[in-house]
Amino acid sequence: MLALNDVNINILFTSFHLASSLIRAEPFVYYNDIPESETAGMADFKKLAEGQTATLPPFTIKQSIKITAAAPIDVHIYSKSAKSRYEFYEKVILKKLKKTIKVWSRRDNKLKGDCRVIERNIRLIKSPAQIGDHATNIEADQSNWIVSEPGNIFCFMDKPYAKSQATEPALAVCIDKDTIFARFNAIAAQILADNIFTFDYPQLPRNASTILYCVIHESSLVIYYVKYSYCAT
C-alpha cells in the first residue's frame, strides 16, 4: 500500500470499510508508509497493512442476486479463499448444489472424476465436443463450466479442474435458468450418453437394500454403474 501524501492517507482512513473487504481477498502489500500511530484502533486496516487475514476468515462465501430482465433470473455466486485449501469443485460447489455435476474444463490428469457418493458425482466431460457447427476441445478452450444433474443450473468457473486450484482463491457464478442450462447440457449429454453403461445382476435377491457401485475407467472415461441387491441377515 503506497501513500505519497496526506490526501492519500485521508482517503485510506475514510475507506477503512473497504480495507475490511479487501482483507478477505488476501491482498499482497507491496509498500506501506502509514505510521502505526495513525491506524490505532483500526483493526481491519492494521491487518490489511500487515498482510494478515481476518481472525475468522470466511473460507467460503455465498452471495445470491436476482437479474431483473423480462423474467427474473436467480444467480448464486460462490467463492473460497486460498487459505481454505478446499478443492473447489468437490468441497464447495458439489456440497452447495447437492447434485451431480458434469465438468467441462482443462485438467491436469491428477484430479479425477469422482462417483463415490450417490447423486453427488463429478463427471468429466470428454473432449472434443461439437457446439453447433463448431468443433472444440478442452485444450483449446479457456472456459471452465459445469452443469448440474438434475438441472437447471449452469455455473461458470474461474479455475480449471486441476489439483492446483485447491491452493488458490476461486469463484463460480451459477445461473438457475432452464434455457441457459439446456444449451450447455446438450453439449455434455452428447459426450456422456454413449459412455454410461448399466449392469444388473438378476440372480441376486430383490428383497433387500440396493447398493450402487461406480467405477471410472480414466483412459476412456467410461462410467460403470453396477447395481445389485443383497439380503439382510
Please give the pLDDT value at position 210: 40
Residues 104, 184: Cα–Cα separation, whole Å? 10
Please give the pLDDT value at position 84: 83
Determine the topology of domain 60-192 in CATH: Endonuclease; Chain A (3.30.870)
Q: What is the grid cell recorded at 2? A: 503506497
Q: What is the grid cell recorded at 177? A: 435458468
Identify whether the C-beta of residue 143 lies closer than 8 Å to the C-beta of residue 104. Answer: yes
From 193, 202, 190, select the one nearest 228 (Cα to Cα).
202
Please give the pLDDT value at position 99: 92
Please give the pLDDT value at position 39: 77
Residue in the block written with cell 439380503: 231
Other CB atoms within 10 A of residue 58 CB: 14
Please give the pLDDT value at position 98: 92
Please give the pLDDT value at position 28: 61
From 228, 182, 192, select the one nearest 208 (Cα to Cα).
228
Domain locations along the chain: 6-49, 60-192, 197-229
Over the chain (233 residues), what is each successive 10-residue block's mean pLDDT?
A: 38 46 54 77 74 55 71 85 86 91 87 82 82 77 89 90 89 89 85 44 41 39 38 32
